[in-house]
Structure formats: structure tokens, C-alpha cells
Structure 1
């Protein structure tokens, strides 16, 4: 049974918030991290948080960015597949750690951070962290207000 949304588009109720969100989006996407990597990170965090709207939009945006169905289907099991580069794996591990903060006493262990730092410079790491935090922000808004994935026909 599908649940009904409690509020329609929470962020849109606050136009000033939308302006700020757009600036965060622009900043995260301007630091040099490949767009498809950001989309994979967004998709993985959204899967963990069970945000159907963000999983849907994340997969669709990743496809628009050139992602293959094979890679998209494997994001949840990225460790067990050969489809991702070492840099993408490092970004996905960082996304998982930063999303599951309460799962361990050291939420983002040095080995996760250091591996990400091997593949991304300081500005790119900051953009990844900003994007992961933004994804988690949207996941929490959408899950709390029960925002459904849109129905697509055809």
C-alpha cells in the first residue's frame, strides 16, 4: 500500500531555502568530481535511507549522465561487482559511511577517508561531503513527509 505524502514539496514552501539549495547544488557540482560519480553517490545514500523519490530521481539522472543499466542495477552491491572504478568505489564507501553515522563509533574511519583522498583532491573531497550531506538532507525531508517516487507510465 502506497502512503500519501504528508506535505507536498517541503522545500518549495520556502523559496529562500530553494535558492540556498540551488547554490549548494551548484557548488558541489563545480569542484571537478565527475557528474556520474555524484549521481552514484546520491543513489547509494538514497538507497540506504529508503528515499523512494531520491532513488527514482537518482537513477534517472544517472542514466541521463550516461550511466548504464548494468551499473545502476549494481550500485547497492558495488563491492561485489566489477563495474566501478577505484575512485567510484572510494566515493561510494565515503557515501555509505557518512550516511550511516550511528552504525559505528568512528563513522568515517581513516581507511575510508584515506582511500577517497587517494582519488580526490581537497576541493573534490569537500564537494563529495557536501553532496552526501545534501542527499541525506533531501532523504530526510522526503522520508519524513512520505514523498513518493513519481509514477512513470510507458
Structure 2
């Protein structure tokens, strides 16, 4: 049995009403990642992958929708979950996805972001783009606790995603 969006309720009311500073932080993070040094589809792919890794339906629906609205194919969106063997990504996108995996998935055998991965990233991104990529991962990570703890309604408009 599936639950309709009307029946879902977030656990928290709108966090910006509880912590008004969020109204400044969110836009600042979007400005930082929107500096033009990194293609927007790469940012969205990375953020979708982060949502998948942490198991957040809200984030996966949000970032899948962003990619659809930007004209990305269903194949690319769906294949983010299995990006390593999917034929739909450029080498630069693959290294960006590898970085988000490295940052968010613990490596019991050593360093999270080994020198080899960093060197591969440097082959595809200049320093500003690489810093922006790190901030894009950080941007989605900033919102992960709210997505997991507050459970906003997936697919709902911003004004409707939080408990009233």
C-alpha cells in the first residue's frame, strides 16, 4: 500500500520558523555552488547521489525532479544509483560521483579520499571547480539532518513540505 502525499506529514514545522538564520544560510550555499565553475547537472547528480547514499526519499525526489526539470534523461537520473557501470556519465561526472561516494561512505580500508581520486578530480576540474564541488557536497550534507530528522514531504512545494 502506498501513502499519498496528502497523508504524509513532516515531523517538524518549517525549520526556518524555528531557526530564522536558515533563510540566510540556504541562499548563501546556493550562491556558492552557483558560481559557474561547475556545470549545474554535475551539482544535481552529486546531490542526488548523496540523497541515495543517506537513504532520504525527500532528497532523492527533490534532486531527481531538479534533474528532470533541467532536461536530464530518465536513464541518467535512474543510473545515478549504479553510476559505476552505467554508460551515461562523462569522466568528469564519474569522478564527481566518486568523490561524493568517498566523502559519504566510510572506507574501512583506508583514506576516504585517496590521493589517486584527488589526482583524477584535478585532471577534470580546476581548483575553483573542485572547491565548488566540495561545497556542493557540503550543501546537500548541510540539509541531510533536516531531511532525515524532520522528514519533509517528498515532492511537496516548499510551503507544504513541513508540518503546520
- What TM-score, normalized by structure 1, do the two folds share? 0.88
How large is the RMSD of aligned CA atoms in angstroms? Answer: 2.0
CA distance in 2, matches of 1:132, 1:64: 21
Measure the CA separation in 2 of the matches of 1:39 and 1:97. 17
**Among 17, 30, 33, which residue is 1:28 paired with?**
33
Q: CA deviation at 1:128?
A: 0.6
Per the alignment, residue 146 of structure 2 pairs with: 141
Mapped partners of 1:12, 1:99: distance in 2: 29
* CA apart distance, 1:31: 4.1
Which range moved further: 4-13 or 24-33? Answer: 4-13
Structure 1 residue 5, shift from structure 2 partner: 2.2
User: Which ranges in structure 2 are unaligned for 5 or more consecutive residues?
Assistant: 158-164
Q: Which residue of 2 aligns with 1:128?
A: 133
Contact 2:79–2:86, Cα closer than 8 Å, also in 1: yes
Among 2, 5, 8, the alignment partner of 2:10 is 5
| Contact residue 48 and residue 64 of structure 2 kept, 8 A | yes
CA distance 1:147–1:95, shift in 2 (3 Å):
same
Q: How far apart are residue 144 of structure 1 and its match?
A: 1.5
Q: After the TM superposition, which of the residue ranges 24-33 and 77-86 deviates more from structure 2?
A: 24-33
* Matched position secondary structure for 2:112: coil
Unaligned ranges ≥5, structure 1: none
Distance 1:5 1:28, change over 3 A: same
Which is worse superposed, 102-111 or 16-25?
102-111
Instruction: Give SS of 1:32's match.
Output: coil
SS in 2 for 1:15: coil
Deviations 1:3-54 (A, max 9, x none): 7422033245323222122111111111410000000000001100111111
Report which of the two has the higher share of helix: 1
Task: Kindly indicate whether the alpha-carbon contact (under 8 Å) linking 1:52 and 1:149 is maintained by their aligned counterparts in 2.
Answer: yes
Kindly state the Cα deviation for residue 86 of structure 1 after the two structures are TM-superposed. Answer: 0.1
Q: 2:96 aligns with which of 79, 91, 96?
A: 91
Q: Give the 3-state SS of the residue equivalent to 2:155 in structure 1.
A: coil
